[in-house]
Amino acid sequence: MISVYHYMSVAAILFAMSTYGVLTRRNAIVIFMCIELMLNSVNLTFISLSSHLQNIDGQIFVFFVMAVAAAEAAVGLALMIAFYRNRESIDVDNINMLKW
Amino acid sequence: MYDKLWLIPFFPLVGSIINGLLGKRFIKNEKIIGAIGTGAIFLSFLVSCKFFYQLVNDSVKIHETVVASWMSVGNLQVDWGFLLDPLSAVMLMVVCGVGSLIHLYSIGYMHGEEGFYRFFCYMNLFAFSMLMLVLGNNALVMFVGWEGVGLCSYLLIGYYFEKQSAGDAAKKAFVMNRVGDFGFLLGLFTIFWTLGSKHGVWTINFVEISEKAHLLSGDMILGAGVTTVATLCFFLGATGKSAQLPLFTWLPDAMEGPTPVSALIHAATMVTAGVYMIGRMNVLFAMSPTTMMVVAVVGALTAIFAATIGFAQNDIKRVLAYSTVSQLGFMFVAMGVGAFTAGIFHLMTHAFFKACLFLGSGSVIHAMHHALHHAHLSDDAQDMRNMGGLRKKMPITWATFGISCLAISGLPFFSGFFSKDEILWWTFASTRGSKVVWVIVVVAAFMTAFYMFRCLYMTFYGEQKTNPKAKDHVHESPWVITLPLVVLAGLATVGGFVGIPHVIDVAHIGNKLDQFLAPVFHHSQQLHNIEAHGTASTEIILMIFSVVVALVGIGVATMMYLKNPDMPAKFTAKFSKLHRWVFNKWYVDEAYDVLFVNTTKKLGIFCWRGFDVNVIDGIVNGLAKLIGAISTALRHTQTGQFHNYALTMVFGTVVMLAIFILN
Amino acid sequence: MSLSDLLAMLPILILAFGATAILMAGAWYREPLPLLAGGIVTALLGALSAGLVTPPVPEIAGLFSAGGYARFYTILWSLLAAAGLMTGSRYIIEKRIGAGEYVSLVLYAAAGMALLSSATHLVGLFIALETFTLAFYILIASNRNCALAAEAGLKYLLLGAVATGFMAFGIALIYAASGSLVLPDAVMRLKAETGELQAWGLLGWGMILIAVGFKISLAPFHLWTPDVYQGAPAPVTGLLATGSKGAVVAALVGLLAMSGPVWNDLTDLVWLLAALTMLAGAFGALGQSNLKRLLAYSSVTHMGTLLVGVLCQTSEGFAATTFYVVVYVVTSLGAFAVIASLADGRGEPMTFDQWRGLGYRHPVRCGVLVLLLLSLAGLPATAGFMAKFAVFHAALQSGYIGLLMIGILASVISFAFYLRVTMLLFQPDEKASSWHQGSVFEHTVLAVCSSAVLVLGLFPGLLFGLIRQILP
Amino acid sequence: MTTVLFYILGFIMLTATLLCITRRNPVHAVIYLVAGFFALALMFYLLGAPLAAAWQIIVYAGAIMVLFLFIIMMLGLAPQETPEGPGWRRWGPLVLLSASLMVCTVLLIMQDPAAGKEIGDFYLAPQAVGESLFGRYVLAVEMVSFQLLFATIGAYLLGRPLSKGEGQ
């Protein structure tokens, strides 16, 4: 028997794993990928809830999450190019001029 | 009738704005700037006089006028409102009167200083804030003034920015005043909240608080009476503003500011705000004998403590500063024993003679400074060891300074005599008084007489110890400086007659001040049975005793510091037998010197260096360091690294979720 | 969508289509000044239409409210956009930033903020939030030659995207618990029969709080603030510090005011957040020697204080918070506008060494800065004091005495650093150099901000009265 | 059947994710992520959301991930993700932290009484979703389209080559 709990647990695990990725990876692009993964775990939650509640709203929200993710990805990657142009690197350990 | 009250703070505000905005670029001329600044406060003085006169002849003594509604938050309505009652009227006269004189004096004293316009801008702004503090009919308007005077005080202490010490002093004053403000706000909120939540009276209006204060009598908070807690908080606020133990060390350091500032802010007006505040809330204070006791004890300890330190100072302004702290202690004793009128009375007379003393010292410093400057010397212009014998060079300054010394020592019929005597009498005889406190205060009075005359002798008598090159360049100051001195000395002489004690009131003039202030204070005094009771003979005996104490203090100082070189020689020639006596006297003197003076000096130095510098400053600096350390530590969490930031976020999340689960 | 819906959202339409029009104009016509002027006019038109046109329907397409509260914030954010464009004018011209893009992004961000403040549906809330966040990612890094700006942009993006993840997850959980995305039903249905929040609802609120905490920089989610404020150009920082935070708070207040006391299980947590934030901001600012970073910490403290007002969950508290938002926006914007107006070829004056003695070189603007700082510090008779007082008063009435004490303590501490800057400005320093004289636009903004601070301080009743009327 | 599929897909997805977040070569990471997305898309299908499944493939795997790959290649980052990855000391606590985040979340999810109910049959036809999107939510769709427009502008503003005199 598969309940919504199973799906949400998978989503939670996915969320935690992507958090781990955000915390450990040093390549800004990979970190950004992990953030996309985070949004995907949210999508999974929404879709499973949509089924669980027999309700369309969850799926609608997924659409918007995806659109927002796409917009964010476009801007984010452009930012990384801008950063790379200045610093010749997108290693987050090099994001360190602003501190203290 | 009283709806033009707003004019009083309005003039200085306008003066401040004009000088601040136009002073540097457009007016430039010192005379005009000075005239605007002085004129503004003098106009306020004239208006104050008018209202004072009106109030004296009015049968109703408490008047509130609302200029505009400020805000209404929920059930709380706060107005830009002014309150004119005898208490604020007296304060008005002091602030505007003494303030006008000091502004006038500043024209001469600050002549040629860079930022002349800035000085007058700040001074007028200060006067404005102080008048708001005095006139406010609710705690919020008072707080506007309370913060404003603090702000001006820092600005003026740090007036000589280029001096590191000035900046440090401003910082210190700031920290201690903040502690005080914290107390004030806590007290205010305690009263406000209890009155509101328990009794449905949401108000911060002084008149309403006074009317409803009786409701609070049974309320408890933190295991103590609400009034006790709140008034203790208020008193903490007062200790910060009025430089009482343990928050007094900023005041001597505040002498880094120009002398007129010391006279106006750090002697006559702002530092007495704490006393005024207690007077304004006397109904609340009277409800809590515990707080009153604390106030009296702290005041007495401050009085004696600061006096002790006064012994060891050689800087003329620092002597006066410690003397101010000590005299403020007297005022707090008065408030603490329920002698509210006496406290305000002393506040007033102190404003006269202490302003005169400060301005006199300023006149001396001014002269010394010019002389030293003329001779290209870098000696300390404020060190009394470089002075001496200035009596002939600066006769007016000498005379006025001497009169003020007599007044502060409490010699009969000078103003200080009446006010100090009333405080001593109440301390001795009041139902809230205490004999122990009385003893301490008497000793402090003795010390006051001693070190003030020491200061007088070291400055004006004996041989002139100024560097010979500069000696002859010391001259009397111009009229703008001496005129205020003369007026203030006059006030210091006769100002006491407004409060003649009943027992020596031969001409049946009556204690005018007491009668005038009665509408403010008598109610709470009667309600809580605060009165001084004792026979007339006791009072007279005590009065004579205190005069004797003052005379002894002066005598000791005369013996020790008035060393006229001619006298011993004449004595030896005419009365050779006496010579030995005089000679022996010298032995006594020296023995005395070793036994007494050195000990007290050491005590003074110990108190100053040991307690003042190490303990209090230690605590303040420690606090500052602790805060600094916390902020540095926090700053280093700011590594700039993305991972650390993300980690903190996730960590915060986990902690939050853990809290949810545990709940 | 009907005609009346369109009429109801006229201000948003003006902003959004104005932005697009300017964007297109900018593609062919590259003179910055006319584009800027067009942007400012559009923003003012937006504000005007929000103020004058009475919406025929209370709600737009079931996503956004068209009520008084929403319109109030629409006006505020439109005016903010106008002011932001004015402060940014010299930055765009001198740094040769694409004017069309810049102007349209600011207008677009304002539309996003206005929509967020009026959201009545979680979809609307989410998209509106992302709308202006996205615009800010771009605006922060708009000067591509500046390594610091690029770094600030990237930092804000990475952390902000994480926050977006949390936000979406939180919304998902609230949807899970209540089965609805419509506000305030979604929030009100979270309660179980016992009156407590269900586990999912609790988790959802927690996640949303984290995202909100990031956006308005509550401790411990505030670490990005000083870095980003320092790196971003001052005109953008001015918008970021005010609009992006204010809009989130506005949405929160609107939501809570509509849905009644739904936070009862969260009060302890929010209490803790508020206390931590106020102290972290106050202590953090003490050690700073860079004005922009100092202002960042100052904004952290202010957000903590705001949260106190929100926490009260009384109409008193909401009114106080709304008032506080307005005051904070005006004051903070003014402070950053001063920095922007002084900027010249060397960049913006930031470190205390650069500010020392500037009061003698630029007395008027430094005087304005002092006024604004004192208002931020909460000196009586300025707007900042009234705002703080109102919030503390509300806290007192709701019985949050501990929080009140911490708040007073924090403002006592924060007085120290504001005054330090004030003193610094008027220290005579021979080496103090002159900076830019500033343009008419910048001076206008400063004049408006400083007079608003004074007027709101002396007569706060005007605004309070209005706020009481419009609160949902 | 659904049960088996769920477990298989879950396993694939979590493994792919695990590999994605640990691989040092970013290109590999992208490939694993795409694999994970495919599994996720199938899961959506299982849950009766064919349209969402299609979006997942088209938008995420097809568009966004390709964009990522493109940027990685363009910046020449593939060899740069350094071999000196995080040591035990560095990622040990982070594993713990992430694990506790997971445990906390799962625990809270389980606390809800509704969680135990079996998911019933539910199928949402693409047509219904489309009607809803362009009916009730048309305004939101417009907003998102604006957002995409401005994202494009932003990407252009940030990513185009420096013009003469800019930023000086």
What's the whole-number mean pLDDT along residues B525-551?
85
Lowest mean pLDDT among B177-191, B410-424, C234-248: B177-191
* Residue B148 touches chain C, beta carbons under 8 Å: yes
> End-to-end CA distance of chain A, in Å?
53
Q: Which of D105, D140, D146 sits opposite C203 (nearest CB)?
A: D105
Question: Residues A8-13: what's their mean pLDDT?
Answer: 87
* Mutation site for A-interface testing, chosen from D45, D124, D162 by largest number of A Cβ within 10 Å: D124
Closest-CA distance, A3 to chain C, in angstroms, reads 13
**B642–chain A Cβ distance below 8 A for any pair:** yes
D103: pLDDT strictly greater than 80: no
The answer for A 52-71 residues in CB contact with C (under 8 A) is 52-53, 55, 57-58, 60-61, 64-65, 68, 71
CB-based contacts of B509, cutoff 8 Å, min separation 6: B497, B500
Confidence of residue C129 (pLDDT cuts 50, 70, 90): very high
Whether the CB of C162 is below 8 Å from some CB of chain B: the reply is yes
Residue B136 has pLDDT above 50, yes or no: yes
| Closest residue in C to D168 (Cα–Cα) | C95
What's at A18, amino acid-wise? S
- The predicted pLDDT at position B330 comes to 92
Q: What are phi and psi of D25, to 5 degrees?
A: -85, 115
Give B478's DSSP letter: P
Taking residues C387-406, what's their average pLDDT? 87
C127: nearest CB among A38, A68, A92: A68
Residue B600: pLDDT band (50, 70, 90) is low
Residue C302: CA atoms inside 13 Å, Cβ hemisphere, count?
34
- The verdict on a CB contact (< 8 Å) between D108 and B661 is yes
Inform me whether the C-beta atom of residue D4 falls under 8 Å from chain C C-beta atoms: no
Q: How many CB pairs under 8 A join A and B?
A: 33
- Closest approach of chain A CAs to the CA of D165, in angstroms? 16
pLDDT at B583: 41
* B-C Cβ pairs (cutoff 8 Å, strict): 147
Q: What residue spans of B312-380 are helical by DSSP H?
A: 316-336, 340-374
Residue type, A76: G
Nearest CB partner across the interface for D97, out of B650, B660, B661: B650
Cβ(C47)–Cβ(C75) below 8 Å: yes
CA atoms within 13 A on the CB side of C319: 23
Share of chain B above pLDDT 90, in %: 13
Q: Which residues contact B312 (CB under 8 A, 6 or more apart)?
A: B601, B604, B605, B608
On chain C, the residues whose CB falls within 8 A of the CB of B192 are 396
pLDDT score, position B571: 44
What residues of chain B lie within 8 A of the CB of A96, using their CB?
639-641
Adjacent-strand bridge partners of C197: C191
Give the closest of C213, C269, C396 to B659, CB-based. C269
Per-residue pLDDT at D83 = 46
Residues of B in contact with A23 (CB under 8 A): 643, 646-647, 650
Binary contact (A87, C179; C-beta < 8 A):
no
Percentage of residues in chain D having pLDDT higher than 90: 7
Which of B341, C361, D59 lies closest to A65 in space, CA to CA? D59
- Among A81-95, B173-187, B255-269, D80-94, the range scoring the smallest mean pLDDT is D80-94
CB contact under 8 A, C151 and A65: no
Please state which of the ranges B636-650, C63-77, D31-45 shows the lowest mean pLDDT: B636-650
Q: C158 pLDDT exceeds 60?
A: yes
B109, B133, B134: which is closest to B119 by C-alpha?
A: B109
**Second CATH level (architecture) for the domain D2-119:** Up-down Bundle (1.20)
Among the partner residues D3, D71, D137, nearest to A2 by beta-carbon distance = D3
Output the six-digit token pair for B517: 């202030």
Q: Measured between alpha carbons, how far is B521 from B341 in angstroms, rounded to an integer?
A: 7
Q: What is the mean pLDDT of residues B32-43?
A: 90
Distance CA D30, CA C174 (A): 31
Does B661 contact D100 at a Cβ distance shorter than 8 Å? no
Q: How far apart are CA C287 and CA D135, in angstroms?
A: 55
From residue C454, give the alpha-carbon distance in Å to each of C77, C87, C368, C458. 20, 20, 11, 6
pLDDT in tens, B200-219: 888 888 888 888 888 887 77
3-class secondary-structure state, position C217: coil
* CA nearest to A92 within chain B: B642
Give the ipTM. Answer: 0.85
> Which of C126, C130, C176 is opposite residue A49, by nearest beta carbon?
C176
**What is the model's pLDDT at position D89?**
59
- Cα C71 to Cα A93: distance, rounded to the nearest angstrom: 44
- Residue B612: its pLDDT value, please? 59
Task: Say whether pLDDT at C400 is over 60.
Answer: yes
Smallest CA–CA separation between C73 and chain D, in Å? 19
B651–C220 CB contact, under 8 Å: yes
pLDDT digits (tens, 9 = 90+) for C331-344: 999 999 999 999 88
Q: D153 and C105: CB-CB below 8 Å?
A: yes
Q: What subunits touch chain B, counting only 3 or more CB pairs under 8 A?
A: A, C, D
Residue-wise pLDDT for D40-98, tens only, equals 888 888 888 888 888 888 888 888 888 888 888 888 765 544 544 555 656 667 777 77
Q: How confident is the model at residue B589 (pLDDT cuts 50, 70, 90)?
A: very low
- Segments forming the whole domain that contains residue A8: 4-99
Within the 73-132 window of chain C, which residues sit less than 8 Å (CB to CB) from chain A?
Answer: 122-123, 126-127, 130
Residue with tokens 């009283």: B2
Instruction: Kindly report which listed range (A31-35, B26-30, C215-219, C453-457) carries the lowest average pLDDT score.
Output: B26-30
Query: pLDDT > 70: what percent of chain D?
Result: 77
| Spatial distance between the Cα atoms of B602 and C276, rounded to a whole number of angstroms | 48
Own/partner contacts of B597-604, CB < 8 Å, gap of 24 or more, are: B597/B560, B600/B308, B600/B311, B601/B311, B601/B312, B603/B308, B603/B311, B604/B308, B604/B309, B604/B310, B604/B311, B604/B312
Interface check for C189 against chain A (CB to CB < 8 A): the answer is no
Among the residues of B200-315, which ranges form H helices? Answer: 206-212, 226-241, 250-253, 259-263, 273-280, 282-287, 289-311
pLDDT for the residue numbered B581: 45
Is B344 in contact with B134 (CB distance < 8 Å)? no
What's the one-letter identity of residue C464? F
Q: Would the pLDDT of D114 be above 80?
A: no
Q: How does residue D118 score in pLDDT terms, banded at 50, 70 and 90?
A: low
Q: Which helix (H) or strand (E) holds B73?
A: strand B63-73
pLDDT one-digit tens code per residue, B255-291? 888 888 888 888 888 888 999 999 998 888 888 888 9
Q: Using a CB-CB distance cutoff of 8 angstroms, which residues of chain B are in contact with residue A91?
A: none
D104 touches chain B (CB under 8 A): yes
* Residue range C374-385, pLDDT digits in tens: 999 888 778 998
Which residue in D95, D109, D140 is closest to A8 by CB distance?
D109
- Is 80 exceeded by the pLDDT of residue B76? no
Note if the pTM is more than 0.90: no
Test A92 with B642 for CB contact under 8 angstroms. Answer: yes
Would you say residue B14 has pLDDT above 60? yes
The predicted-structure confidence for A45-62, as pLDDT tens digits, reads as follows 899 888 888 888 888 999
Mean pLDDT, rounded, of chain B: 82
Which two tokens mark B456? 């007088």
D28 compared with B331, residue with greater pLDDT: B331
Confidence (pLDDT) at C123: 92
Residue C211: which H helix or E strand, with range?
helix C199-215
What is the per-residue pLDDT for B569?
46
Which whole number is the average pLDDT over B525-538?
Answer: 82
Residue B161's pLDDT band (cuts 50, 70, 90): low
Chain B neighbors of A26, CB-CB under 8 A: 643
CA B642 to chain centre: 53
Interchain CB distance below 8 Å, C176 and A8: yes
- How many Cβ contacts (< 8 angstroms) between chains B and D? 22
Tell me how many domains chain A contains. 1
Q: Check if the beta carbon of residue B317 is closer than 8 Å to that of residue B259.
A: yes
User: Burial level of B535, CB count in 10 A (0-12/13-18/19+)?
Assistant: exposed
D73 contacts in A (CB within 8 Å)? none
Interval C25-53: pLDDT, tens: 988 888 888 999 999 999 999 999 998 88
**pLDDT value at residue A62:** 92
Beta bridge partners of C112: none
Suggest the residue from A1, A3, A7, A10 to mutate for an interface test with chain D (most D CBs closer than 10 A).
Answer: A10
In D, which residues are within 8 Å of B650 by CB distance? Answer: 97-98, 101
Q: Residues C250-274: what's their mean pLDDT?
A: 84
Can you say how many angstroms the Cα of residue B92 is from the centroid of all Cα atoms in its chain? 16
Which residues in chain A touch residue C126, judged by CB atoms under 8 angstroms apart? Answer: 61, 64-65, 68
Which DSSP category does A94 fall into? G
B584 falls in which pLDDT band (50, 70, 90)? very low
Worst-scoring range by mean pLDDT, B307-311, B528-532, C142-146?
Answer: B307-311
Taking an 8 Å cut-off on Cβ atoms, the answer to whether D150 and C108 are in contact is yes
Torsion angle defined by CA atoms of residues A76, A81, A82 and A83, in that order, rounded to the nearest 10 degrees = 90
Mean pLDDT of B313-337: 88
pLDDT of residue B578: 46
Q: DSSP labels for D42-82?
A: HHHHHTT-HHHHHHIIIIIIIIIHHHHHHHHHHHT-GGGS-
Across the interface, do A44 and D21 touch by the CB < 8 Å criterion?
A: no
B434 touches B395 (CB < 8 A): no
* Rounded CA separation B580/B600 (Å): 28
